[in-house]
Amino acid sequence: MYNAKFRVMNLRDIKRGWLRSLDIIGDIAVIEVKPEFKEIKHEIAEKILREVNYIKVVVEKKSPISGEHRVMDLEWLAGEKRFTTIHREYGCIFKLDISKVYFTPRLSTERMRIARMVRAGEVIVNMFAGVGTYSIIIAKRALEKPSKIYSIDINPYAYDYAVENVRINKVEDIVIPILGDAKEVIMNKLMGVADRVLMPYPELALKYLEYAIMALKDSGGIIHAYDFIKYMKNEDPKVKMRDRYEEKLKGFDVKYEILDVRRTGEVAPREYRMVIDIKILSKNGFKRF
Q: Taking 90 as the threshold, does the pLDDT of residue 286 lie above it?
A: no
Q: How sure is the predictor about 3, in pLDDT bands with cuts at 50, 70 and 90?
A: very low
CB-CB contact of 182 with 208 (8 Å):
yes
Average pLDDT over residues 268-273: 90
Confidence band, pLDDT 50/70/90 cuts, at residue 288: low
Beta strands in 173-287 (DSSP E): 175-179, 196-199, 221-230, 255-268, 271-282
Tens digit of each residue's pLDDT (9 = 90 or more) over 150-188: 999 999 999 999 999 999 999 999 999 999 999 999 999
Q: Convert the pLDDT of each residue in 57-87 to its tens digit.
A: 999 998 777 677 788 899 999 999 999 999 9
5-51 pLDDT, tens digit each: 455 467 888 888 899 999 999 999 999 999 999 999 999 999 999 99
Backbone angles phi, psi at 135, to 5 degrees: -60, -45
For residues 283-287, give the mean pLDDT.
Answer: 77
pLDDT, residue 17, reads 86
Please give the helix or strand (H or E) that residue 60 lies within, else none.
Answer: strand 57-66
Contact 131, 105 (CB under 8 A): no
Residue ranges of domains in the chain, CATH in brackets: 11-82 (3.30.300.110), 104-282 (3.40.50.150)
- pLDDT of amino acid 4: 45
pLDDT given for residue 174 in this prediction: 98
pLDDT digit string, tens, across residues 192-225: 999 999 999 999 999 999 999 999 999 999 999 9
Question: 170: phi > 0 → left, psi -120 to 50 → alpha, else beta; which?
Answer: left
pLDDT at 116: 97
Q: Residue 289 corresponds to which amino acid?
A: F
CA–CA dist 73, 93 (Å, integer): 24
Decide if pLDDT at 2 tops 70: no
Residue 114: left if φ>0, alpha if ψ -120 to 50, beta else—which one?
alpha
Among residues 207, 275, 281, the alpha carbon closest in space to that of 241 is found at 275
Please give the pLDDT value at position 132: 98
